[in-house]
A and B are shown apart, each in its own frame.
Chain A
Amino acid sequence: MGPRSGRPLIAFALVLLGALALASPAQAISLAPETPRSPNAEAIATTYWVMLAIAAALIVAVNGALIAAVVRFRARRSRRPGRTPSGRGPLRPALAGLSLLVVALVVFGVVMTAAVRDVDESGPEGLEAALTQTAQVGISGVPAADPFATDAPEDPAETSPLEIDAIAQRWVWRFGYPGGEAGQGLFTYGELVVPVDTTVILNVTSTDVSHSYWVPALGGQVQATPGSTSETWFKAQEEGRYAGNSTIFSGTGFPSLRSWVRVVSVSEYRSFLAALGSELQDAQGAVAEDEGEQAEEAEGEAGEEEAP
């Protein structure tokens, strides 16, 4: 009976593998999430791999036991069904094992959740360190136009992470940066630019329906809920451009609600902000001069704050 009943299973596995191989003319089949570039994303990836291994072990164990039971105990002429042992005896080891598994999983889950939530300090390459140096040296000035300079902590010991407001609407993200002249924020649409090795705190909210902020390389999802603000953080360890999606259905433009995080060096970040600030001033000037629509055309990323 063994080889005969095994054949469909093997054929089934082959078809499955063949189909999956079809799927990868250009890509390798991989269960790996995007390479983590932030400590919280690393903790998420670790949790994912452990849970995936446990899930795979359970799936293989249950299916293996099912196949073994069917192959061994299939009804035949000679076979009489055995007696089922009575009482709680045979169940006890299973209950004990499962209870242990539950406790271990809960502990693991709580520990890993704390690890993801735990906000790291900025690293030596990061923005605060650079600011501190500047403040200590007191010369090699930040360009005067740098709006961030006005926000730099006076006291070198007093450091705080970079706080960004991430505001979702259908179907674009708006990222607001600290600094800028009083009364006018600095912001970009779609793409967030942050310095490397710097702890960034995102205050995520939405102006219309619920969305989610999620850049897999830099951490987990956080829901952008209208009327309340959620906090998440990341510390990008490598320069680069990382893509993200929203995972909460939001209507016709849902797939296009994407976001990108461009991680740059501290000096690039400064000049980026400076450019952003001056563009904003130019744009405002232009607006003041001729009620201009040029503002949006001139620079897609820098815009006026919903001026009527």
Chain B
Amino acid sequence: MRSFNGRRQRPEIVTRGIPRPRPAWIERATSADHKSVGLLYIGTALVFAALAVAELVLMRIQLIVPESTIISPEIFNQLLTVGGTTAVILFAIPLALGLIGYLVPLQIGARGVALPRLNLLSYWLYAAGAVAVYASFLYAPSDAGPIAMAPLSEAAFSPSNGVDAWIAGVGLATAGFVLFAINLIATVSGMRAPGLAWRRVPPFTWAASASAWVLAVVGPAMIAALAMLFIDRNFGGIFFSAGDGGGPLLYQHLAAIYSTGLMAVALVVAAGVISEILPALAGKPLLSHRATAASLVAIAVLMPLAWIQGMYAAPLGAAWTTGAMAIALALVLPFGTLIYIWLATLWGGAIRLRASALFALGAISTLAFALGLELALAVIPVGWLLDGTAAALAAGTYAIVAASVLAGFAGLHHWFGKLTGRQLGEGVGKAALAIIVLGVHLYAIPMLLAGVDGQPADVFQYFEGTGVSGYNLVASIGAFVLAIGVLVELGNVAHSYGHGRPAAHDPWGGTSLEWFALSPPPPHNFDVVPDVRSPEPMRDIREAIRMRTETFAPPASHRRARPAEREEAEQTDSSGTPVA
């Protein structure tokens, strides 16, 4: 009877020995249902979103005025380290994984995942990693920087045990990501509904699969780097120590492979989310399903391969840096294709400006800033000018805000009803979007200007007379605005989770199979697994239902529909011939 979850996936009549219901939190913590695990990922990631912006605010308080001494350098560097780790490893990636873990099995018409307990384990590894990183606040967290670059993170220069806690925490979380990826790859490979060939797989699932492969490749690289660093620090290793024949550049390479891979995951998943929302809310299919999938895969493959694009100043052969530049610039093609497809999908549509659509549009707008700046930084001489400065920080901020905050919240708005059975507040969401967009520009544009004027990123203070004081003041204000926007939206999520209005099962007229399930779906997801005949199975289902019911129901045009019903009607009418 302990195989409670196995029982959930294969419904059967049980006449006796029904287990007593356990407390909800035990059920939540131990359920291997992919939906429960997905909600755990999303909820935990959102908690860390709040912590990440809180740490950003503290750092920006220190940087309001030049030569400030509000926060000591040691504490600032701890905030820098933990804040950077929180923003990417504890918030951005887990949020993407939560959406993926919840939605991909639904999108492919599966009744579960291939390795449900591995999936649950992946969450608990991530949670354990987060605890390891934050528990170090009890003594002294790592101050070795967001990626703990060796040799700075070696025991000789960073003796604090916080670095060891950081290594353990990031290692555990990364191991969790890898296990998650293994489960996802197995699930998507083996559990797609009949007829759901790869050419019909929805863009979000394409993005999820490409991201899972990226994590499965770059995650072990980082785990290896962390293991070597741990050996260096604690067991007399010399992997990264220059004097003894070790290679300081080795850690830099491995960490760059990992961080570039994580950025690729965040961007690809965001692109997948946007590619789902725009067609639904514009009432038009994507311009090209095939080119979208190809672009997502191209980004996932090319971007981690260009890991050297942040290391142009390092002692490397010219062929390496030139090759990295060529790969990084080649990314213009998939990113440009995606943006073109999105614009062409909007063009001629009837765009319903719901919060999800506005967040997606905001994400594309912000992404344009991120990609424009990253494009400039990809050219070697500009990298020599701006790498490691506040300008590169601005580009990175644009990227993570576009990909994880805006596209992440867009995805939450789009699927919140499916996830929780309740609607995510529209008005508050739109207000939060406006605040976040204002905040990110107020923060990143002055940072860009300061970086061009020579201010390094990651400094705990800057000096009078270097011409960056005004920029830092405005950037601090922008960071506070950004933090308020994020917190407002997090409050919106928390409130709607408990008190939102009930959601419909198919509110947007989506075309993939998650809209065929109830909101929220039952433990087994689908009573009937449909045959898939096109890339837009839900459109076919809706069409079939309409054909069957048309003879019996009075035509919709006979009565004046109220707005909510009108949308429903529009979707039904607009279902044209599926594009194969």
Contacts and interface: CB of A to CB of B under 8 A. Distances in A.
B73 interface: yes
Interface of A: 8, 12, 15-16, 19-20, 22-27, 29-34, 43-45, 47-48, 51-52, 54-56, 58-59, 62-63, 65-66, 69-70, 73-76, 79-86, 88, 90-91, 94-95, 98-99, 101-102, 105-106, 108-110, 112-113, 116-117, 170, 208-210, 212, 214, 216, 219-223, 225-230, 243-255
Contacts of B579: 84, 86
B248 A227 contact: yes
Contacts of A45: 385
Contacts of A250: 152
B438 A16 contact: yes
Interface string B370-406: 0111011011111111111100000000000000000
B339 A54 contact: no
Interface residues of B, number: 114
A52 B252 contact: no
B471 interface: yes
A251 B157 CA distance: 8
A230 B317 CA distance: 10
A209 B333 contact: no
Contacts of A229: 315
Given A16-B445, A24-B470, A44-B381, A98 B329 contact: no
B157 A102 contact: no
B388 A247 contact: yes
Interface stretch (B195-203, B226-234, B460-468): B460-468
A85 B346 contact: no
A221 B451 CA distance: 13
Interface string B524-552: 00000000000000000000000000000
Contacts of B54: none
Contact of B381 (A66, A88, A116): A116
Given A27-B470, A52-B376, A62-B364, A73 B332 contact: no
B128 interface: no
Across the A-B interface, give the 9 residue pairs with the lowest CB-CB distance, nearest first: A220-B384, A227-B242, A247-B388, A55-B372, A81-B283, A82-B348, A23-B470, A226-B242, A51-B376
B381 A90 contact: no
Contacts of A255: 456, 459-463
B336 A116 contact: no
A249 B77 CA distance: 10
Interface of B: 73-74, 77, 80, 143-145, 149, 151-152, 156-158, 242-243, 246-249, 252, 282-288, 291, 311-315, 318, 321-322, 325-326, 329-330, 332-333, 336-337, 339-341, 343-353, 361, 364-365, 368-369, 371-373, 375-376, 378-389, 434, 437-438, 441-442, 445-446, 448-449, 452-463, 466-467, 469-471, 473-474, 477-478, 573-574, 576, 579
Contacts of A248: 149, 388
Task: Determine which residue in B252, B288, B473 has the highest number of CB atoms from chain A within 10 A of its CB, and name it.
Answer: B288
Contacts of A109: 322, 325-326, 329, 378-381
A231 B579 CA distance: 57
Majority secondary structure of chain B interface residues (helix, strand, loop or mixed): helix
A81 B326 contact: no
Contact of A246 (B378, B382, B456, B466): B456
Nearest to B573: A80
Given A12-B438, A101-B336, A66 B364 contact: yes
A252 B77 contact: yes
B333 A99 contact: yes
A222 to B, nearest CB: 5
Nearest to B574: A81
A94 to B, nearest CB: 4
Contact of A82 (B284, B340, B466, B470): B284
A73 B282 contact: yes
A54 B376 contact: yes
B385 A216 contact: yes
A91 B376 contact: no
A19 B284 contact: no
Contacts of A32: 452
B346 A212 contact: no
A226 B248 contact: yes
A94 B376 CA distance: 21
B376 A55 contact: yes
A51 B333 contact: no
A75 B283 CA distance: 9
Given A22-B474, A216-B385, A225-B314, A81 B349 contact: yes
Nearest to A71: B351
26 contacts: A23-B446, A26-B469, A27-B470, A30-B449, A30-B452, A47-B381, A48-B382, A51-B376, A70-B346, A81-B282, A82-B284, A86-B579, A90-B344, A91-B341, A102-B329, A105-B375, A113-B322, A113-B381, A209-B157, A221-B388, A226-B151, A227-B243, A227-B246, A228-B315, A254-B458, A255-B459
Contacts of B330: 102, 106
Contact of B248 (A56, A74, A225, A243): A225
Nearest to B291: A91
Nearest to A44: B381
Given A75-B351, A112-B381, A222-B313, A63 B365 contact: yes
A48 B381 contact: yes
B382 A44 contact: yes
A18 to B, nearest CB: 10
A240 to B, nearest CB: 15
Contacts of A113: 318, 321-322, 325, 379-381
A23 B443 CA distance: 12
Question: Which of B152, B247, B384: most chain A CB closer than 10 A?
Answer: B384
A216 B454 contact: yes
Contact of A91 (B340, B386, B459): B340
A64 to B, nearest CB: 10
A20 B151 contact: no
Contacts of A23: 446, 449, 470-471, 473-474
Given A75-B353, A102-B329, A105-B329, 13 more contacts: A12-B437, A16-B445, A69-B351, A80-B350, A82-B284, A84-B287, A101-B332, A208-B157, A220-B383, A221-B313, A229-B315, A247-B457, A249-B152
A58 B368 CA distance: 7
Which of B349, B461, B462 has the most chain A CB atoms closer than 10 A to its own CB? B349
A14 to B, nearest CB: 11
Contacts of B337: 91, 94-95, 98
Contacts of B243: 226-227
B477 A212 contact: no
B359 to A, nearest CB: 13
B452 A31 contact: yes
Contacts of B336: 94, 98, 101
Contacts of A56: 372
A132 B466 CA distance: 39
